[in-house]
C-alpha cells in the first residue's frame, strides 16, 4: 500500500495543477478593440499602447486585440459607437466625430473655430465640460475611460490656396458622415461630400472631390499629397479628441481591480499619445512642405473671416449639443 502513495500524491498533484490551469484559463479574456486607423498613425498606436499596458499589468489575463481600419463595422466608421453599445464590439479608441451621430454632445468639438489652440482643448476635456460629455456617453451604455487626440483638422485641396471663405466656393470637399460638417462647409460656400475614409483616397485620386480635411498626421502618413492635394491651409477649425471606452456589460463583468487597470492604462496611453501627436506636428509639417505642398497659414484677420462665416452653424447646433455643456466649455476656454 505504501508503495503506491508516491504515485497517489503525484496523481493528486497533477490533478490539482490541472484544476488550477483550467481555472486560470477560464479567467483569461480577450476583448476586441476597434479603431479607424492602423498603428501607422498615432491613433492606432494609442490603441496598441493601451493593449500593451493592459496585458502587462494583468499578466496576460486580459488581452486587448486591436482591429484597425474599422474592420469590425465593415469600414463604416460612424457605426462604431452603435456596435460597441450593442456589444458587437467590446471596446474602442474612437473619434468624437464618428461617435457624434449617436452622442450629440460630442459635436461640441466639431463646432467650427470654437477651440483655438491645444490649451483650449485641454481645458475642455480636463474640466466640467469633459465630465459632462463622459456622463453623456455613459448614459448610452458605454463607459468612457480616457482621452486621446487625433489633432486639429486642416484643409487641403487640389485647386489652389485657400485663405478666405470665398476660395471655397463650389469646391467639392470630402467630409465625414456628420450633419454638422455638412452645415459648416455649406456655410462656407463649398460642396461637402460625405464618405468614409476608405472611399476618400480613391475619390481624391479620380478628382471626384477637390479636397478634404484631416489632421497633419493623417495627411502625412497617408501621403495625401500624392493624390493631387497640393495645397494645405492651416486653419485649426476644429479638434478631434479620441476617447478610450468599453461596452457597459463588458465593464460590469470585470472585477474592480481589472476595471482600475483598464482605466489607468487608458489614461496613460492617452496621455502618451497626445504628447507624441503634438510633438510631431512641426516635423510632419516640414516633411509635407519638403514634398512640394504649398502651405497657407491664416493671419488673425483671415481667421476671423472664417469665424464670422460660420456663426450661423453655432446658432443652429449649440441647442442640439446642449447650452450647459457649451457654456461650461466656453468658460474653460476663456479662463485657460
Tell me how many helices (H) and strands (E) the chain has.
15, 10
- 131-150 pLDDT, tens per residue? 999 999 999 999 999 999 99
What cell does 286 get? 516640414
Q: Span 25-42, mean pLDDT? A: 89
Q: Tell me, what's the pLDDT at 26?
A: 45
- 63-88 pLDDT, tens per residue? 999 999 999 999 889 899 999 999 99
pLDDT higher than threshold 70 for residue 10: no
- 39-69 pLDDT, tens per residue? 999 999 999 999 999 999 999 999 999 999 9
pLDDT higher than threshold 70 for residue 114: yes
Provide the pairing of β-strand 29-34 with 91-95.
Answer: parallel
d(CA 325, CA 211) in angstroms, rounded, equals 32
What cell does 217 get? 498626421
d(CA 91, CA 279) in angstroms, rounded, equals 27
pLDDT higher than threshold 70 for residue 311: yes
CATH number for the domain formed by residue range(s) 28-334 = 3.40.190.170
pLDDT higher than threshold 50 for residue 254: yes
Tell me the whole-structure pTM to 2 decimals: 0.89
Q: Tell me, what's the pLDDT at 177?
A: 82
Q: Span 83-112, mean pLDDT? A: 97
Q: Span 210-218, mean pLDDT? A: 97
Q: Tell me, what's the pLDDT at 18?
A: 44
Q: Tell me, what's the pLDDT at 4?
A: 53
Q: Span 272-285, mean pLDDT? A: 97
| Grid-cell match 461637402, residue found | 192
Q: Tell me, what's the pLDDT at 3?
A: 43
Can you give the C-alpha Rg of the chain in angstroms?
23
- Buried b / exposed e over 110-128, threshold 16 CB at 10 Å, is bbbbbbeebebbbbbbebe
Q: Tell me, what's the pLDDT at 8?
A: 52
What DSSP string describes 165-186? GGGGTT-EEEE-S-HHHHHHHH
Looking only at Cα atoms, what is the longest distance across the chain? 98
The CA distances from residue 222 to 38, 151, 153, 288, in Å, are 11, 15, 14, 11
- 280-309 pLDDT, tens per residue? 999 999 999 999 999 999 999 999 999 999
The residue among 213, 94, 202 whose CA lies nearest residue 148 is 94
Q: Tell me, what's the pLDDT at 293?
A: 98
Q: Tell me, what's the pLDDT at 198?
A: 80
Q: Tell me, what's the pLDDT at 17?
A: 44
pLDDT higher than threshold 70 for residue 14: no
d(CA 325, CA 72) in angstroms, rounded, equals 31
Give the sign of the dihedral formed by CA 253, CA 34, CA 40, CA 292.
negative
Q: Are residues 51 and 64 in contact, defined by beta-carbon separation less than 8 angstroms?
A: yes
Q: Tell me, what's the pLDDT at 20?
A: 42
d(CA 326, CA 110) in angstroms, rounded, equals 12
The CA distances from residue 34 to 76, 86, 305, 307, 324, in Å, are 12, 14, 38, 34, 31
Query: In this structure, what DSSP letter does residue 261 have?
Result: H
> What rounded mean pLDDT belongs to the chain?
93
The residue among 53, 106, 101, 56 whose CA lies nearest residue 243 is 106
d(CA 95, CA 151) in angstroms, rounded, equals 10
pLDDT higher than threshold 90 for residue 23: no
Amino acid at each position: 500500500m505504501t508503495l503506491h502513495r508516491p504515485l497517489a500524491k503525484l496523481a493528486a498533484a497533477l490533478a490539482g495543477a490541472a484544476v488550477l490551469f483550467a481555472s486560470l484559463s477560464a479567467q483569461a479574456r480577450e476583448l476586441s478593440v476597434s479603431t479607424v486607423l492602423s498603428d501607422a498613425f498615432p491613433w492606432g498606436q494609442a490603441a496598441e499602447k493601451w493593449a500593451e499596458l493592459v496585458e502587462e499589468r494583468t499578466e496576460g489575463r486580459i488581452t486587448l486585440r486591436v482591429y484597425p481600419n474599422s474592420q469590425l463595422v465593415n469600414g463604416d466608421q460612424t457605426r462604431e459607437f452603435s456596435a460597441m453599445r450593442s456589444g458587437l464590439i467590446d471596446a474602442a479608441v474612437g473619434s468624437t466625430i464618428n461617435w457624434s451621430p449617436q452622442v450629440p454632445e460630442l459635436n461640441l468639438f466639431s463646432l467650427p473655430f470654437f477651440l483655438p489652440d491645444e490649451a483650449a482643448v485641454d481645458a475642455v476635456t480636463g474640466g466640467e465640460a469633459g465630465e459632462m460629455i463622459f456622463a453623456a456617453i455613459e448614459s448610452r451604455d458605454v463607459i468612457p475611460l480616457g482621452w486621446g487626440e487625433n489633432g486639429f483638422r486642416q484643409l487641403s485641396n487640389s485647386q489652389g490656396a485657400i485663405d478666405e471663405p470665398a476660395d471655397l466656393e463650389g469646391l467639392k470637399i470630402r467630409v465625414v458622415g456628420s450633419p454638422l460638417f455638412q452645415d459648416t462647409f455649406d456655410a462656407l460656400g463649398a460642396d461637402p461630400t460625405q464618405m468614409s475614409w476608405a472611399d476618400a483616397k480613391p475619390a481624391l485620386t479620380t478628382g471626384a472631390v477637390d479636397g478634404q480635411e484631416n489632421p497633419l498626421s493623417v495627411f502625412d502618413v497617408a501621403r495625401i499629397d500624392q493624390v493631387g492635394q497640393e495645397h494645405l491651409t492651416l486653419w485649426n477649425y476644429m479638434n478631434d479628441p479620441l476617447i478610450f471606452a468599453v461596452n457597459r456589460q463588458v465593464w460590469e463583468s470585470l472585477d474592480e481591480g481589472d476595471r482600475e487597470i483598464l482605466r489607468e492604462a487608458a489614461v496613460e496611453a492617452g496621455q502618451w499619445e497626445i504628447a507624441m501627436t503634438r510633438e510631431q506636428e512641426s516635423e510632419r509639417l516640414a516633411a509635407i512642405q519638403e514634398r512640394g505642398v504649398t502651405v497657407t497659414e491664416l493671419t488673425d484677420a483671415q481667421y476671423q473671416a472664417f469665424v464670422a462665416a460660420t456663426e450661423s452653424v453655432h446658432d443652429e447646433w449649440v441647442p442640439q449639443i446642449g447650452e450647459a455643456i457649451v457654456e461650461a466649455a466656453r468658460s474653460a476656454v476663456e479662463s485657460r
